Amino acid sequence: MPGDGRSPRLSRVLVTNDDGIDAPGLAVAEAIAAAIADEVWVVAPARDQSGRGQAITVRTPVDVITHGPRRHAVTGTPADCVLLALAHWLADAPPDLVIAGVNRGANISDTIVYSGTVGAALAAEHAGLCAVALSQAFRGPPETADFSPAIDYGQCVVTQLLTQAAREPAGRYRGAWSVNFPAARHETPIQGIGWARGARGTAVRPRAERVPGHEERFQLAFARGATPVVDPQSDVAVLRARRISVMPLTNERCDLTVFESATNRRDWHLDKTGSAR
């Protein structure tokens, strides 16, 4: 993608998700990709892989089920799909952009680290690519999820993010983002786009619910925080204000504040018992 500050039509886009190749949100992402690129590749999990984060399959092979030209299902995680696509089909012609989603449900704050949708975007970012994770908030049962906000505004948001990434000098970090669309509420229109960051307290502790009739089988979930998130820059608050939240992503796992503080210390000492003081 040229660094001329514009968002040109792309040569190719890779689309994946974590809900599986038959999920309705994937079709939304495919449509967004087709509107901005000449060539669209779909490499998605063969079944639901929600909550897999950035996990990859390392001990066993993954299988591919071909669904048509440039369309493949993989018996692995979302990150597997990205890595396999880059190493196999797109090894000689990498995509200009990776789109992950559109996820059925928001990926925000504390739970974002578990998201397979975000994990796929981070896998792409780690490979030096531009990536966008798209997620659609909804109300009610999952089967009634309404993707109309992502359908209406997805292309606009992705195009603007690409324009920003195109401004970066050649060879520099090109960007990965997590985008969340507010739940469809036709009487209250979307109010715009808001840059956001994650918040703490949306998932305060793990919860294990025993499956009826199975002594040693559990359904895992999270207990939600009782205290409302009030940080106006949080993704929670941005969505609550009926704005599309956009959060920049990075694979950097180091807490740079603590790192700077620790490296400035001169009183660290290791004695023969192995303890530091």
Highest CATH level, class, for 10-201+230-263: alpha beta
Burial-class residue 58 by CB neighbours within 10 Å (0-12, 13-18, 19+).
exposed
Closest Cα to residue 202, out of 187, 180, 184? 180
Helix (H, G, I), strand (E, B), or coil: what is residue 103?
strand
pLDDT string in tens for the chain (277-residue length): 444 445 668 999 999 999 999 999 999 999 999 999 999 999 999 999 999 999 999 999 999 999 999 999 999 999 999 999 999 999 999 999 999 999 999 999 888 889 999 999 999 999 999 999 999 999 888 888 999 999 999 999 999 999 888 777 654 446 899 999 999 988 889 999 999 988 776 666 788 899 999 989 998 877 766 566 777 889 999 999 999 999 999 888 888 888 888 877 767 777 777 665 5
Which run of H or of E encompasses 257?
helix 256-263
Each residue's pLDDT tens digit, 99-155: 999 999 999 988 888 999 999 999 999 999 999 999 999 988 888 899 999 999 999
**Taking the domains of the chain in order of start, what are their residue ranges?**
10-201+230-263
What residues does 85 pair with on adjacent strands? none
In angstroms, the CA 197 to CA 208 distance is: 28
The answer for 171, left when phi > 0, alpha when psi is -120 to 50, beta otherwise, is: left
- Tell me the Cα Rg of the chain: 20
How many of the other CB atoms lie within 10 Å of CB of 178? 29
176-181/193-195 β-pairing: unpaired
Cβ proximity of 161 and 13 under 8 Å: no
